Amino acid sequence: MLDIFSKPELIVEQWVSPLFEQKKIHVSVLRSDLVHPWIQGNKWYKLQIYLHRLKNENRKGFFSIGGPYSNHLIALSFAGNQLACHSTFFIRGGREEWKGNPAINQMLEWGSELIPLSRSDFRSFDPTNARTENPFLEDFVWVPMGGSESSMIPFLKSWVDQIVEQIEFDVVVMPVATAGTLSGFAAWLPSHKKIMAIEVLKSNGFLEDNLVTWLQAEKLAVSSKPIFISDYHFGGYANTNSVLKDFCKRVFKSNKFPIESIYSGKAFYAVSGLAEKGYFQEGSRILLLHTGGVFPWNMSR
C-alpha cells in the first residue's frame, strides 16, 4: 500500500460508449478512485498540506467537521490511524441517527472521536470556538470541511503538472462541491486546456466566489478559467434519484469502473448528457476526473 506522503501513479481508462462514437469524441477517465482504498480521489492530494502540518509542527492530531457519510472524514480518519495520532470530528446529527451507519462505525474502529452536532450548530460551527470549548484541540491541526482552504492549492500543482505531462486531453471535467480542487486546476492548468466544473450542489455563485478568494489569498492568478455547469446537481448536495442510480449501474456494467450517485456520478451523467446535446466539438479529447467515494455504503445508497 502507498505511503500516504507519496505521489501516486496515474491510471487512465477509456469510457467506451456508442454515444461518444456517434458524436466522434474521446472520453477518458482518470481513475483517482484507485489511488487508495480509503483516501480516494482528490482527497489524497487535498490532505497533503494537513499531513505535513501534523508532521512538521509536531501536532497531536486532526479535528474537522462533516456529515455522517463524509468521504473527507473517512480519509482523514484513516490517515490519523496510520500516523498513530488522534482524530476528533464534529459530525452533523445525533448518535441515535448514526446507529448502524457503516461509515461512522469505520471511523470509530480507527479510533476517531466523534462529537454530534445539531443541524443548527453544524451550520454555525466555528473552529476557534471549538478550541475554546475543547482546550485539548489547541494541539490539533484544523482541517476544514472537505479539506479545502487556500493553502492547499500549491500542493495540487504537482498533480496537475503530472496530468498535463502524461495525458493528452483538451478539456478536464470534474465534480465540484467546494472549489478546492478546482482552484488548483484553475491556477496550474495551461490556458489552452479547458476546465468544466460540474456543480454537485446548488451553489448560487459561492463556488466562483471561493475560487477567486482562495487564489487571491495565495497570490495566484487564473490560468484556465473554469466553465461552471449547474444543471446536474439533482436537487442539491448528496441528492440523487433512480435515474442517476440506474445510469451509474449501466456505466459500471459496460465499462467496469464503479461510480456512485452521491457525488462523482453526477459528473459522469453531465458528460453523457452534454455529449447527447452536441455540446462537445467533434474530435474533443475529454478527461473526466473520478474523485472516488466508491465505498460500499455510497454504492448502496
What is the mean predicted confidence (pLDDT) over 178-186? 96
Domain boundary among 90, 115, 147: 147
Residues 258 and 156 in one domain: yes
Handedness of CA 257, 248, 240, 103 (dihedral sign): negative
Question: Above 90 in pLDDT, residue 271?
Answer: yes
| Pair (269, 154) in one structural domain | yes
219: cell is 497570490
pLDDT value at 130 more than 70: yes
Confidence bin at 300 (pLDDT 50/70/90): low
Backbone angles phi, psi at 109, to 5 degrees: -65, -30
Query: Do residues 211 and 234 share a domain?
Result: yes
Q: Is residue 230 part of a domain?
A: yes
**277 and 291: one domain?**
yes
Do the Cβ atoms of 185 and 174 come closer than 8 Å?
yes
2 confidence band (pLDDT: 50, 70, 90): low
- CATH number of domain containing 270: 3.40.50.1100
Domain count within the chain: 2
My answer on whether 167 and 273 are in the same domain is: yes
Q: Provide the residue range defining the domain that includes 70.
A: 44-147
**Which whole number is the average pLDDT over 165-183?**
96
pLDDT at 301 over 90: no
Q: Which of 127, 147, 167 is the last residue of a domain?
A: 147
| pLDDT on residue 150 | 95
User: How do 12-14 and 26-31 pair as beta strands?
Assistant: antiparallel
Mean pLDDT, residues 190-210: 95
Q: What is the pLDDT of residue 6?
A: 79
31 and 154 in a single domain? The answer is: yes
Across the range 25-45, mean pLDDT stands at 94
Nine-digit cell string for 93: 446529527
Chain-centroid distance of CA 179 in Å reads 9
Long-range contacts of 10-16 (CB under 8 A, 24+ apart): 10/162, 10/163, 10/166, 10/167, 12/167, 12/287, 13/255, 13/257, 15/251, 15/255, 15/268, 15/271, 15/288, 16/254, 16/255
Q: 88-113: per-residue pLDDT in tens?
A: 999 999 999 999 999 999 999 999 99
**117-131, 154-168, 230-244, 273-287, range with the lowest pLDDT:** 230-244
- CA 199, 203, 205, 207 dihedral sign is negative
Model confidence over 245-254: pLDDT tens digits?
A: 999 999 999 9
If you average pLDDT over residues 163-177, what whole number do you get?
A: 97
Whether 22 and 49 share a structural domain: no
Q: Is residue 7 part of a domain?
A: no
